[in-house]
Amino acid sequence: MRNYDLTPLYRSAIGFDRLAQMAEHAASNKGNSGYPPYNIELLGENRYRITMAVAGFTMEELEITSEGEKLLVKGTKAESKEERQYLYQGIAERGFERTFQLADYVTVVGANLENGLLDVDLVREIPEALKPRTIEINTSRPLDAKR
């Protein structure tokens, strides 16, 4: 894979430093194997769901951690006590770690495991102080305003 120098983007994009850092990180991310497969759904204006295919994992073998703007889903497969002899093994029974970068003000509100699918529900809650507000426009100047 080619290496891209994003330094010019840092110089010309004021206030978008974080965006450039995320693009640089995504370009250099080589450890992401694609296992387990997942979907990201938009459920509403500020509601999302990540669905991961974790067939063969029990609730005790899965761990979900949310810290800051990172969501980590980890699966640790318990050691099997019985010895099996496979003729063909197509079901992956390996552990995994999948990290998701969450946007600002996105929080995890719940998780559900059903039929081998792990659903992680997310909500984006923007604080009132950061929501757009309407500014009243006056037609006359205040008496103490100077030009």
| DSSP states of 50-69 | EEEE-TT--GGGEEEEEETT
What's residue 13's pLDDT? 45
pTM for the full predicted model: 0.65
Mean pLDDT calculated for residue range 76-97: 83
Rounded percentage of the chain residues whose pLDDT exceeds 70: 73
- Give Cα separations from 33 to 37, 98, 99 (angstroms): 10, 9, 12
Q: 22 pLDDT exceeds 80? A: no
What's residue 80's pLDDT? 74
- Give Cα separations from 30 to 2, 5, 34, 35, 94 (angstroms): 12, 17, 11, 13, 19
Mean pLDDT calculated for residue range 100-126: 92
Give residue-wise pLDDT tens across range 127-136.
Answer: 888 778 888 8
Q: 32 pLDDT exceeds 80? A: no
Question: What domains are defined for the chain?
Answer: 1-30 (no CATH), 34-130 (2.60.40.790)
Band the pLDDT of 89: cuts 50, 70, 90. Answer: confident
Residue with tokens 């946007």: 103
Between residues 81 and 16, the one the model is more confident about: 81
